[in-house]
Chain A
């Protein structure tokens, strides 16, 4: 059993800038959440559900492990 607490990081901010400097609002509208949720995800204050994580990965046309990973 894995007892160690995992800290999930992400590359959302980096990918957003690489996607023609997409705004947080733009990404939020694309995946159907509020801008504050995108801000919280970028600051690692909130880990999204698998559903939202897949939606974000799809928004950037990437595999989920390229967007969310354990450092």
Chain B
């Protein structure tokens, strides 16, 4: 497993843990105020960023211990192209999700809380799917 796949896996795991944490915190979202929902979502995004950094470090330390050598993470043209593909995919998913959420909010008269949660989770899901695309391309 090369460093790119390792780092991408770290990002997927970090995002999944943050999503799970947010899901558990938002179990009673229907009775929560918009301020408390926003607080949980903002904390979730922060947690995902911190987790990804920690997992990157842990994965690279473990890999160095197992293989006995340090692998440099060099970004070249191939990485930029794959990054672009992933960004395009996540943007499309996020865009479709926003429109779908807004339509459903109007149609079913859903609360702002629901819309806020749906849009944030759509961002995470789009990001996770695009990260899987990156793993597919790097394999």
Are A and B genuine complex partners? yes
Residues of A within 8 A of B (CB): 28, 32-34, 36-37, 40, 46, 48-49, 51-52
**Which bucket holds chain B's interface residue count?**
10 to 19
Q: Is the CB of B78 within 8 A of A40?
A: yes
Task: Tell whether B109 is near chain A: CB-to-CB under 8 Å.
Answer: no
Q: Decide if the interface of chain B is mainly helix, strand, loop or mixed.
A: helix
Total A-B residue pairs with C-beta atoms closer than 8 Å? 29
Q: Is the CB of B77 within 8 A of A36?
A: no
Residues of B within 8 A of A40 (CB): 78
Q: Is the CB of B138 within 8 A of A33?
A: no
Besides the contacts A36-B2, A46-B78, what 9 more A-B pairs have beta carbons closer than 8 Å?
A32-B76, A34-B4, A34-B74, A34-B76, A37-B78, A40-B78, A48-B78, A49-B77, A52-B77
Residues of B within 8 A of A (CB): 2-4, 72, 74-79, 138
Q: Complex formed: what's the CA distance from A48 to B78 in Å?
A: 8
Q: Is the CB of B77 within 8 A of A33?
A: yes
Q: Complex formed: what's the CA distance from A32 to B74 in Å?
A: 9
Q: Complex formed: what's the CA distance from A45 to B36 in Å?
A: 48
Query: Would you list the 5 A-B pairs with minimal beta carbon distance, nearest first?
Result: A33-B76, A34-B74, A37-B78, A36-B2, A37-B76
Q: Complex formed: what's the CA distance from A33 to B78 in Å?
A: 9
Residues of A within 8 A of B2 (CB): 36
Q: Complex formed: what's the CA distance from A37 to B72 in Å?
A: 13
**Could you list some 9 contacts between A and B, CB below 8 A?**
A28-B74, A33-B76, A34-B76, A34-B78, A36-B3, A40-B78, A48-B77, A51-B77, A52-B77
* Selected contact of B138 from candidates A28, A32, A36, A49, CB within 8 Å: A36
